[in-house]
Structure 1
Amino acid sequence: MIVPARACPADADLRRYLTARVVSVAGALVVAVALPVLAYRLTGSPAWTAAIAAAEAVPYLLLGLLAGALADRVDRRSVMVGCDLLTAAALAAVPLGWWFDALTPWQLLGTAAVTQTAFVFFDAANFGALPTLAGEDRLTEAWARLFGATTLVELLVPPLAGLAIAVLAPAGLMVLAAVAAAGSAVLVRSVRGRLSPEPASRMRTRVVADVREGLGLVFGHPVVRTLTLVGTTQAVAGGAWAAMTVPWADAVLGIRPAGDPRLGLLFACWGVGGLVAARVVPWLSSRWGGARLALAALPVSTACALAVCASTHWVPALLAATAFGAAYTIVVLNAVTFRQQVTPPHARARVSTTARMLSWGVGTPAGAALAGAVASTGAGPRGALLAGALVLAFGVVVAWTGPALRTAARVPLSS
């Protein structure tokens, strides 16, 4: 007798795992909205808001290589559950501090660092856990289901969180994020299938050797190397955006951090742009190829970033921000897809975390720090966003003048 697919234990495990990821991503998005708003309302300082954004990205810079190497060696279920519980505890401390009038910017800075450190190890474990759970024959389906579900969450949660801030204290939203992290831990723990390979099948290598292999695979492939390095310049612009969204909305657009529902619309822009990108990247990649798509999308991303800087009214600002989110995500998804295609299966976790560490882990905190420094000189949030866009423009020059992408773009797609 054939068991229907929906009744298979493996499929039930996959649903539990994907639900855990959706719940976890939803909680993280609530934090992404509430934490900078809370920091800005607590301090009124763009520099402090930028520091929070930088603290959220620094852990990937410091620990990305180690996390990627360890993800193929340890019990991933224990790592993911432990990271979720640590995140829940750190987030729950924020509303306690707020309610007892003891919350400080330093606690917010520590919360950002602790939760993102947990995310680094969780993320690395996830890169290996999902393929192990789904199996090679269902890997594409599993990643498609995960990306589709999380993209929908990224579209819905930020505007809802932004609207909730209009009527609730942002510290109260951190309770929801803490509950989401704890819920994710329970769901991951309930998965019965394996999330790690059998101990006897794991490669017995040294962590240093694994790290070296990840670096070698990233820097040894000319296109992957170029996409990673240029991606760092784009991450600088993204870091400046993350750091200055709330101060820029307040100072330039007149969107107040408390009680203004337009803030929810502003936070929704990136999700809408990401959803558009998810729809068009497969078609664009198959039609143009990864190298040509990168060469085309990078200058478009720069132009959209400059359009954001030029906006002074909230309506064109929302349109420009949506376009920037779409172009930015096209560049990222294209680079991730190309990297996965050329990386050996056994090294995908370490290569993915290595590349993410070099681009997002370096670029995002650098962009946030640059934005905070520029804003503090008197140029304000608008000048800070412009500084990030100019760094991205430099990346476009590197991409177009370097030989790697242009050489790959000349290769026929049928080759």
Structure 2
Amino acid sequence: MGDTDERNATDRDFTRYLNARVLSVFGAVVSAVTLPVLVYRLTGSAGWTSAVTAAEALPYLVFGLPAGALADRLDRQRMMVALDFAVAGALLTVPLAWLAGALTAPHVVVVAFATQTAFVFFDAANFGALPALVGKDRLTDAYSRLWGRTTVLELVVPGLTGLLVAVVAPAALLAVNALTGVGSALLLRAITRSLANPRPVQGAGELVADVREGLRFLWREPVIRTLTLVGVTHSAASGAWVAVVVPFADRVLGVAPSGDVRLAALFSCWGVGAIIASRSLPRLTRRWGNARVALGALPLSLLGGVLVLVGGHWLVVCAAAVCWGWAGATVVINGITYRQQVCPEELQSRVNTTGRMVAWGLGQPLGAVLAGGVSVAAGDPRAGLAAGLVVLALGVATAWVTPELRRAARPS
């Protein structure tokens, strides 16, 4: 009876955790779509729009290493609750400033940086929270449920948000994000099972040693090192696309940033491709292995990006973006899966946080800043996207000339 009661309590706590993550991801996706549209309406500038994208990605580069080390040692539940409340407070300043007629582009950029900084530490804590909550024997099922729900959100919400920003002021939508942050915090605070790691922080030296251990493993494994470096170039290309998608839609495709529902389709395409990738990747890796999938998907991703660049009609661009999203998500998920398969259990949080910091935290702002600068200099958002694709091409070449990756891709 005691085991049954404990399992029921765990199920209730997992339901709270799952609902909290759904709210959190919902708010994050709404912000990712709303903030660039908001800044573009304020300024009409591809440079400022790119600055928002860079500000959202940069915190992982700046804070990823200490966040991973701290999350292995601190009370994860308190950490996640405090960060949810902080995000809600930061987001609420945008609609309040908008109502007062005092909203500026720098304000939006600062909020984007602050909320994503909180997300970095939240994400690091989340890496260890779920295993501590459900136990190793139920981890696969728990991840499947979590992945299924959040992936649906990432597919559906960008399109719905694109529809909403066509008829509702973007700043007003961020008030909804603040409410989702509060809801997530209250659900996480209601969890009764401990999410904390028993190792206390006994000094800065221990945290530095933890960081070094994660970096050492990431660099020591040649295939992981290559896939991580390739991930930087891939994130740069996706950062370039996110940075210029609104001005690209406006100036190249004739899709206005307000009042045009076709913007919703453009925001949804990558998510459609990612859903297809999540369904097809297990079969691909079972048949071909992680290394061969990486070598095959990388040039397909580059091809998808080129087709987006040269497509002159919004329907053609949507179809190409779905293909790009499929290949891109295949590369990203495949790299993460391989890293988790070969990483020791005691290093999972640090290594995965570090890998994401290097690949996404460096690549995304690099691509956004590059695309924004080139777009402004050339007066054409297509030039910014092309610059991001050049970086991706360098990653494809790096993967194909790496002997360890090519040896791993050979049939046994």
The answer for unaligned runs of 5 or more in structure 1 is none
Amino acid at match of 1:164: L
1:340 aligned partner: 340
TM-superposed CA distance for 1:202, in Å, is 11
Question: How big is each residue's C-alpha offset from its partner over 1:47-75, in whole Å with a ceiling of 9 and x where there is no partner?
Answer: 00001100111111011001011110100
d(CA) in 1 for partners of 2:244, 2:6: 45
Amino acid at match of 1:358: V
1:197 aligned partner: 197
1:125 aligned partner: 125
Verify the 8 A CA contact 1:85 1:181 in the aligned structure 2: yes
d(CA) in 1 for partners of 2:273, 2:87: 28
TM-score with structure 2 setting the length: 0.97
TM-superposed CA distance for 1:338, in Å, is 0.4
d(CA) in 2 for partners of 1:377, 1:264: 28
Amino acid at match of 1:237: A
The list of structure 1 runs, each at least 4 consecutive aligned residues, that deviate by more than 3 angstroms after superposition, is 1-7, 198-205
1:163 aligned partner: 163
TM-superposed CA distance for 1:18, in Å, is 1.1
- Secondary structure of the equivalent of 1:140? helix
Correspondence 1:92 to 2:92:
yes
2:376 aligned partner: 376
Q: What do you get for the CA RMSD once the two structures are aligned?
A: 1.8
1:178 aligned partner: 178
d(CA) in 2 for partners of 1:261, 1:321: 17
Verify the 8 A CA contact 2:73 2:201 in the aligned structure 1: no
- Secondary structure of the equivalent of 2:380? helix
2:116 aligned partner: 116
d(CA) in 1 for partners of 2:87, 2:41: 23
d(CA) in 2 for partners of 1:6, 1:237: 47
Verify the 8 A CA contact 2:24 2:184 in the aligned structure 1: yes
TM-superposed CA distance for 1:411, in Å, is 5.2
The verdict on how the C-alpha distance between 1:203 and 1:90 changes in structure 2, with shifts beyond 3 A counting, is closer
Paired residues in the alignment total 412
1:18 aligned partner: 18
TM-superposed CA distance for 1:198, in Å, is 3.3
Verify the 8 A CA contact 1:156 1:268 in the aligned structure 2: yes
d(CA) in 2 for partners of 1:2, 1:107: 53
Amino acid at match of 1:312: G
TM-superposed CA distance for 1:199, in Å, is 4.8
Amino acid at match of 1:329: A
Question: How big is each residue's C-alpha offset from its partner over 1:84-115, in whole Å with a ceiling of 9 and x where there is no partner?
Answer: 11100010010011111100111001001100
- Secondary structure of the equivalent of 2:253? coil
d(CA) in 2 for partners of 1:68, 1:199: 14
Verify the 8 A CA contact 2:201 2:207 in the aligned structure 1: no
TM-superposed CA distance for 1:294, in Å, is 0.2
Correspondence 1:72 to 2:82:
no
- Secondary structure of the equivalent of 1:8? helix
Amino acid at match of 2:285: S
Which piece of structure 1 moves more, 36-45 or 382-391?
382-391
1:245 aligned partner: 245
1:62 aligned partner: 62
d(CA) in 2 for partners of 1:198, 1:377: 53
d(CA) in 2 for partners of 1:63, 1:3: 40
The verdict on how the C-alpha distance between 1:248 and 1:70 changes in structure 2, with shifts beyond 3 A counting, is same
2:211 aligned partner: 211
Q: What is the correspondence of 1:16-415 to structure 2 with a 5 Å cutoff? A: 16-199=16-199, 206-410=206-410, 412=412
The answer for unaligned runs of 5 or more in structure 2 is none
TM-superposed CA distance for 1:2, in Å, is 9.3
User: Percent identity between the aligned chains?
Assistant: 53
